[in-house]
Chains A and B, each alone.
Chain A
Amino acid sequence: MKNKTWLYWLFFLALFTAPFYLTEFRLSLLGKFLCFAIIAVGISLIWGYTGILSLGHGVYFGLGAYCMAMYLKLEDSRGHLPDFMEWSGVEKLPWFWKPFENPLFAIFSAIIIPVLLAAFLSYFTFKNRIKGVYFSLLSQAVVVVFVTLFIGKQEWTGGTNGLTNFSTVFGFSLSSPLTQIVIYLLTVLLLCFIFIFSRWLTRSRFGRVLIAIRDSENRVRFLGFNTTTYKVFVYSLSAAFAGLAGVMFVLQVGLISPAMMGIIPSIEMVLWVAVGGRNSLIGAIIGAIATNSAKSFFSENYPDIWLLFLGGLFISIVMFLPNGLAGLYESFVQRKGRRERRKNEAGSHVSRSVS
């Protein structure tokens, strides 16, 4: 266990120093992937540790991103109506857009709105003991509802195009490389913090309750735990992570649209975690970075086969690597340990027979 900790530090050190060795373009890609890694940590908590498969995290990510984007849009418009509203013939800023002029309110809502939605949805489903596939389907239905809503209310949300064309954040130009580096570093810091916090959670007694729920929820109930509370809590926590990821995403990518919170992205999020290893937080982070790097490599070079590759990847992971990359690493370490032990034993046999 001890020797693994320094690997984690090394990993985060590599991320922190990335501005020194990556080009501006690659850095912005990595920053985007780190936002996805934040979502992945949350999904690992609910899916890997607690056994709840949510196929709807795109919504929480999207809501977080939209909240931040509303602030950026208003800052960009400098007191005028945002451009897309003028085009759709809106005359006055809708009342619910008003408070988003305040960046703190925007960031606060980017966390609290996903959390409230997640808590509401999960409380009523888990309390009525709806789980497994039914919950997954329900979470997909929520995605459909929100995407339809966001596309339909074009005058409020920018419709299919989403929100884009931002210029400044807190008065700093978003196109300046320095601002982007600062935002990148904030993203790494956030990921680091979320990772440490989640790691602490999973290694505490609370984490053992989560694993116990995954193993046999009924049994946990008969030990006297109200499992609904626990499940609602982790589910909402993962929604908060996704919302925060949305904030950092918009700041770096400068765009959020309904397509980015739809069904396909929601499923892809689960896929990153499956690739990395759902029972491992660091695995989830690496899975998100690796899958997305592969995605951008393929879509730069062979755009046609990316989706095929994605499908193939998922099938082979499910069939051959149920614990993902992290599981692969674990079994490698174990095998190496076994081999060394055997060697030592053989060595001691030899020395015994010699003496």
Chain B
Amino acid sequence: MKPVLMCREVLVDFAGFKALQGVNFEVYPNEVRFLIGPNGAGKTTLLDVICGKTRACGGKVIFFSHDITKLQEYKIVKLGISRKFQSPAIFHQLTVWENMELSLKQNRGLFAVLRAKMSTEDREKIVTLLKRIHLLDYAYQKAGALSHGQKQWLEIGMQLIQEPRLLLLDEPIAGMSGAEREKTGELIHEIALDCAVLIVEHDMDFVRRFSKQVTVMHEGKVLCEGTMEEIQQNEKVAEVYLGREEKAC
């Protein structure tokens, strides 16, 4: 099977600090891939490189057959990569509905947007998605007034409505209650029916419960890959990460 995303020897240098030191890994179609690692391992930085927010100073990022290493953000989005940020990045001054409207898959050129009208099809799409993320009742509220968990969902919804081919999620369940986490986990697996998902997550219970393949990062490198069981067996991982966590507990 051909991978959706391929990172080859990706290097990132923040004024002398090497946040990524040659990352290699792949994501395959319809996969839910978890990315874990201790604080500062470079997980967020890796997502930043993939979506074009941070520039790699070496290596390549290939999405399907496109080299996206040096592409502008909006062009990367156009190819089908969408990104949910660590802190919910929604538009507080707009309503939930308007947030979704802007995220619709559409021609985002200036003149197309000037002439844009909401079609019935679009409207139905938004309604269906809002139902799925349990926000239909809040459609006309300002997004800034939602609870933290709801904001996270809204942002996931905003990614889904773009019908991406690869979805990047950075700590999607931070600040959610137990029931909300459960729903989010299920939602993520539903999403994976249509696209590949790459998730950064700290919550080990959540990872254990919803992961198939896990990649561990440490100090800007991929340490190992495998199922959660395999990883828990791995001594190196135990040393840098799980062990430390156990000790801390």
Write the residues of chain A forming the contact surface with B, with a CB cutoff of 8 angstroms: 201, 204-206, 208-209, 211-212, 214-216, 218-226, 229-230, 233
Known: A206-B114, A208-B102, A226-B108. A215 touches B74 (CB 8 A): no
- For residue A323, give the distance in angstroms from its CB to the closest CB of chain B: 12
CA distance A201 to B83 in the complex (A): 28
Q: Which residue of B lies closest to A221 (CB)?
A: B73
Cβ contact within 8 Å between A219 and B91? yes
Q: With contacts A204-B114, A212-B102 known, what are 13 further pairs, Cβ within 8 A?
A: A205-B102, A206-B116, A208-B102, A222-B77, A223-B77, A223-B102, A224-B74, A224-B108, A224-B162, A225-B74, A225-B102, A226-B109, A229-B109
Cβ contact within 8 Å between B83 and A222? yes
- For residue B55, give the distance in angstroms from its CB to the closest CB of chain A: 13
- For residue B95, give the distance in angstroms from its CB to the closest CB of chain A: 9
CA distance A219 to B83 in the complex (A): 9
Known: A211-B91, A218-B89, A222-B73. A206 touches B113 (CB 8 A): yes
Cβ contact within 8 Å between B158 and A215? no
Q: Can you list 30 contacts pairing A with B, beta carbon distance less than 8 Å? A: A204-B114, A204-B116, A205-B113, A205-B116, A206-B110, A206-B114, A206-B116, A208-B94, A208-B102, A209-B113, A211-B93, A211-B94, A212-B91, A212-B102, A216-B91, A218-B89, A219-B90, A222-B82, A222-B89, A223-B102, A223-B103, A223-B158, A224-B74, A224-B77, A224-B162, A225-B74, A225-B108, A225-B113, A226-B74, A226-B108
- For residue B195, give the distance in angstroms from its CB to the closest CB of chain A: 16
Give chain B residues whose Cβ lies under 8 Å from the Cβ of A224: 74, 77-78, 108, 162
Give chain A residues whose Cβ lies under 8 Å from the Cβ of B102: 205, 208-209, 212, 220, 223, 225
CA distance A218 to B90 in the complex (A): 11
Chain B 75-94, CB within 8 Å of chain A: the 1/0 string? 00110001101000111111
Q: Which residue of B lies closest to A279 (CB)?
A: B93
Q: Is B26 in the interface zone, CB < 8 Å from A?
A: no
Grouping DSSP codes into helix (H, G, I), strand (E, B) and loop, the A interface class, with mixed when no group exceeds half, is helix
Give chain B residues whose Cβ lies under 8 Å from the Cβ of A208: 94, 98, 101-102
Give chain B residues whose Cβ lies under 8 Å from the Cβ of A205: 101-102, 113, 116
Count: A-B pairs, CB below 8 Å = 71
Cβ contact within 8 Å between A214 and B89? no
One of A221, A222, A223, A230 near B110 (C-beta < 8 A) = A230
CA distance A149 to B91 in the complex (A): 43
Write the residues of chain B forming the contact surface with A, with a CB cutoff of 8 angstroms: 51, 53, 72-74, 77-78, 82-83, 85, 89-94, 98, 101-103, 108-110, 113-114, 116, 158, 162
CA distance A57 to B115 in the complex (A): 28
Cβ contact within 8 Å between B82 and A215? no
Cβ contact within 8 Å between B77 and A215? no
CA distance A175 to B52 in the complex (A): 61
- For residue A277, give the distance in angstroms from its CB to the closest CB of chain B: 15
CA distance A164 to B236 in the complex (A): 83
CA distance A215 to B99 in the complex (A): 12
CA distance A218 to B87 in the complex (A): 13
Give chain B residues whose Cβ lies under 8 Å from the Cβ of A229: 109-110
What are the 8 A-B residue pairs with the smallest beta carbon separation, nearest first?
A224-B77, A215-B91, A219-B89, A205-B116, A212-B91, A221-B73, A225-B108, A224-B74
Give chain A residues whose Cβ lies under 8 Å from the Cβ of B72: 226
CA distance A206 to B116 in the complex (A): 8
Give chain B residues whose Cβ lies under 8 Å from the Cβ of A222: 51, 53, 73, 77, 82-83, 85, 89
CA distance A225 to B110 in the complex (A): 9
- For residue A207, give the distance in angstroms from its CB to the closest CB of chain B: 10
